[in-house]
Structures are given as C-alpha cells and as structure tokens.
Chain A
Amino acid sequence: MRKISLDKLQSLFAKIAENAKLYMPVDNADGSASYGEWSEGTAWSDALNTAKSPKDLFFPQTEDLMRFKTEGKNIECIDIRSEVEDFVVFGVRACDAKSFDILDRVFLSEPRDSFYAMKREKGVIISVACTRPAETCFCSAFGINAAEPTGDVSAWKTADALYLQANTEKGSKLLDSLGDILEDTSDAEVAAQKENIAKIMDKLPLKDVSTDAFGGGKTKELFDDPAWDELSSACLGCGTCTFVCPTCQCYDIKDFNTGNGVIRYRCWDSCMYSEFTRMAHGNNRLTQKERFRQRFMHKLVYYPENNDGLFSCVGCGRCVAKCPISMNIVKVMKKIGGNKGE
C-alpha cells in the first residue's frame, strides 16, 4: 500500500501524464461528469459516477475499422490500425471496474477482437472505492464490493490522502514508475475507510435485490413470464439504457462513403431498436416487448449461461437514473421469476 496526500494530487496526475494519456471523471457544465483527458489544472470530479461508463475508452462509441479504395472493379483493403499509446484511466468505480471482466469475456475470447484487445493491453485502470454510494447503486447484488474495487490499481480516498495498491503487473509497473512521489504505508490506514463504506452499503435501499431467480438454464422458466407485458408496455425503445450501460456490447458495422474512398466503422447498437434484427425477409423481434425481454434475458440468463454464472450487470444504477419512463433492471428483477414479494 502506498499513499499521497490529497494536496499533492495534481503532481501525481502530472507525473502519470508524463508517460501516458490520463483520463479521469471531470465535471461538465450541466452538473454531470464524464471521462476526459487530464491536462494541467484539470480537477478530478467529485461526482459519484460518470454519465457514460469508461467502456468508451476501450470500446469507443464509434471506431473506424478499416478503409477501402475502389477503382473501377478493383478494391483495395487498407488496414488503418495503429499502435495504441499507453493510457491510464483514473477514478473508475468498483462497478465499472468489474464491467471489464464481462466485456473481456466477449471481446478477448477467440477470435479476439484486436481493436479492444490492443486497448486493454495498453490501458491501466486505477479504480477508486466509493465513499458515497447512491441510492440507485446495487453492485452488491452482483457480488461487487464497493470498498474493494478491482482494476490494475485500487485506490481509496480519505479526508486527507489517496491510498493506492497495485493488483496486476501493469499496475505495479505504473506505481513503481511514479518514484518517490508516493510513500509506503500499511494496509491498516484504509481499514476504517473500508468499514465505513460497508456500513453505507448496508443501508442502501436496493441492496437486497436478489439474483436467485436468474442465471443459466432459466430460459424456459422466465421467457414466457406474463410480467414481461406489463414491464415493457411503456418502453419507448430509446436505447438510453444500453448506451449508458457499462456491459452492453452490441455493435453495428457500417460503411461511410467519404467521396474519396470508404471507411468501415463500428458503432454501439442497441437490442432495444426495431432495426436491430430486421432482415430482408422479416424481423424476428417485431414488438418492443420482445426487444425489451431480450435485453434483460441476455444480461440475467443467456450471458451467465455462457460465462460460468457471471451476470452481465454490475449494478451501477445508470439505467435506473436515466430511463425516461423509470423502467430498469431492478424492477425487472423484482417482478420476474417469482421475485415478486420485494
């Protein structure tokens, strides 16, 4: 365990930024926070979490895959991938830190997605424990401990200092590179902090949301639950939940004609959209109910079935806060599959 006093944070950031791009939550004018690149004087946001998750830094909302040049009947495929520079993402909350385990299983399983893999190899994640979890938080339902965030380096912020502990080789290398700006200390100094977080977590209204009714093998049992009708009836199909979600990974591949060639890019897509599954010969999910059900069945049943029981939700609460009709995964988990008493 190492530490640095809070009044020296800017010098810590400056030191990290000497060798790598540094991203961290920064305040926006509208009161929200988002990940931005640090430059001298940039203040680390005090917000509990960012509007969009740090998924964007590894799986960007839009990303060019390749270029084509066409001339007459001929096509030239141009690989535009370049080396990813070292970068550090600071201030990742425990929920978002866990989301990378979920994304890794999709993008790093064979055949590996090189675009994501190159960023995961270079990016170092510094997570920070949550001192003020919000009432929309339910990470503990998915076994996440807000006091023990994962990532390459875990950090704890107390009243006067930031404590850092490396978890991976990449994390150790980063901390070692910072030299004597950090001082060695004992783990005991953050014990009180961890205890305090545990107490707050225990008081959160959504802490008892149960996953018992869900998991692999539950498709038959849950797919035709009559509650899907009521739950989905007001869904606008806006896709906000999927865009703010740290674990949603569905994407589209599209071509853009620049007038001087074609750029093939991918962008986030949403199973909540009617076009998502539309084919020349029809659409296998015609109603919003079917699309709505797909999103939650995927997170709570299909994904765990393929990934050793791991759910594809980290309880960050963004969809709870952002849905325009106040529908969300917590309401789904309470209604579906005999979880109705809550």
Chain B
Amino acid sequence: MNNINDTLIPTVGVITDVRIDTPDIKTFRVVTPDGKKAFDHRPGQCAMLSIPGVGEAMFSITSSPTNTEYMEFSIKKCGCVTEWLHQAEVGQQITIRGPYGNPFPVDDVFAGKNLLFIAGGVGLAPLRSVINYCRHYRDRYGDIDIVYGSRSKADLLDYQEIIEEWSNDAGVNVHLTIDNAQPEWDGHVGFVPNYVKELGFDTNKTAVLCGPPIMIKFTLEGLIALGFDKTQVYTTLELRMKCGVGKCGRCNVGAKYVCKDGPVFRCDELEELPSEY
C-alpha cells in the first residue's frame, strides 16, 4: 500500500550533526538516509519527529527554507522524546513527517516592512528560521531589529551565529540581554519585556514574538504601550499535538487547531480565541 500517502506515516531521517547550544538545548541536523532534505517548508512551519517505541512530538524547524541541504531542530530537554534525543549520537535514525502548520507571512505582509523579532530562551528556535530567511532575501525587507534574551549567557541559543553573522549584517541590529548579571557579560541585563520598553522602538515595524507565555504576555503589553497595534504583532502558540493535521482534536482551541491553523497567529486573531492556550 506504499502508493497511498498518509501524513501519519513518517519517513526515516538521519541525525548528521548534534550541536550543544546551551546546558539543556541541542540543535540536531536531519537529512534523509540518501543525504537529502526530507521535505520543503516555509519559515515558522513544524515537523513531527519520533523515535519508535519512545514517542512522537512536534518541533519547529529552526533552519531556514533557503537551506536546501538539511533541516535543523533546536530542542530543549524537557520530556520523554527530548530526553531520548539528547542522548542520540550522529548517525542515529529517527522518523520525520511534515511540514505542518502555517508559516509567517514573509512574502506578503512582511515584504518591505521593518521587522522586529523578539525572543526568549528556546523561543528563538522558530524565529531563527524566519530571521535567516529575511537575511537571505535582505533587499525585500527594511531594517531588522532582533531582541533576544535568556537566563544567562550560557543559555543563549545560536550564540556564535548571532555574534559572527547576524550582528555583522548591514541594517540588522541585535540586542541581547540576560536575566542576571554575570562576570563574563558586559551586555544588557534584565528581562526581555523591560528591555523592549527601554529600547523604545518606533511603531513603523512588524513585530514577531516567541518565548515563554509569560514573556509573550508582558512583551505584548509593552509593545502596546509603545503604540503598536495588535495587528502588527505576530506570535506562535504551542499545544500538545498528535496528528498534525487538525483531526486528532488535541490542539483545538475555539474553532482553530494550532497544528494546522497555527502555530503562527497575529495577536488580534488570538483575541477571538477563548483563553485556553
């Protein structure tokens, strides 16, 4: 019956690189057994990864679609599947299916706009895909500001790439912050929502927010105080998922399914949903 596609049936993927990013986040590079990218995706979309016998879970694809060789997933150790993945070595096979969910509107809404990306902790994982997409097509977008914060310097994801690549791009301003002062850090200290208010951005931007729910809540309030409208701010939701295509019922909130109608939502769209996410 191999001629009938069913999205629930995954294909095999191989882990070809494991990068230790922070004490609890690793970034895994995945290709098919014949060395190709498993499928194409858009910035913000997700994939279901599984280890047979352990479980299957949804992860955002952190690499940009402009990377045609492989996909990357930045994964925080916090449950059965992720614990297992963190012990995996290069060469380990897993299963992969997707892509799932809606992408960030990079080709229409974002085109020509100044962009403000705000991330906390592992929340940078989905944003890295869209940030690198926008850097790749740099002339399609205006100025890019990136505010990224984490608990400590060691907890900043993609640190090398941020310092060596993003910070050196023309028209890209990176603002890093950590929660508490530490000896080897001479940058900003403080929580992301406060830092955003201190930086006091002009409202001529489209903002994209991703991070822990509490960070999203206070950062959004801060943006509103700066004069942003909710229609200018995008974020992502994350709920438990099994099928990835709006049938198993798990990620249903109001009339939406986060797996297929999300994970990307404009903040005014969230107001239409019951507060159950």
Contacts and interface: CB of A to CB of B under 8 A. Distances in A.
Interface in B223-277: 238-240, 242-243, 245, 247-250, 252-255, 272-274, 276-277
Given A276-B250, A305-B255, A79 B9 contact: yes
A44 to B, nearest CB: 33
B35 interface: no
Contact of A106 (B247, B250, B253): B247
A294 B247 CA distance: 15
Contact of B78 (A269, A281, A297): A281
Contacts of A301: 255
A251 B250 CA distance: 8
Nearest to B249: A250
A287 B12 CA distance: 38
A70 B10 CA distance: 15
A79 B252 contact: no
A148 B258 CA distance: 38
A74 B240 CA distance: 27
B243 A253 contact: yes
A305 B248 CA distance: 18
Closest 9 CB pairs of A and B: A250-B249, A280-B79, A68-B52, A81-B1, A305-B255, A262-B52, A114-B6, A75-B93, A280-B78
Interface of B: 1-2, 4-12, 50, 52-56, 78-79, 82, 89, 91-95, 238-240, 242-243, 245, 247-250, 252-255, 272-274, 276-277
6 contacts: A75-B93, A75-B94, A79-B1, A107-B247, A114-B1, A271-B252
A215 to B, nearest CB: 11
Given A70-B52, A73-B92, A250-B250, A81 B82 contact: no
Contacts, number: 123
B144 to A, nearest CB: 29
A253 B1 contact: no
B52 A75 contact: yes
Contacts of A249: 247, 249
A29 B3 CA distance: 44
A280 B255 contact: no
Contacts of B54: 255
A172 interface: no
Given A75-B93, A81-B1, A252-B242, A285 B276 contact: yes
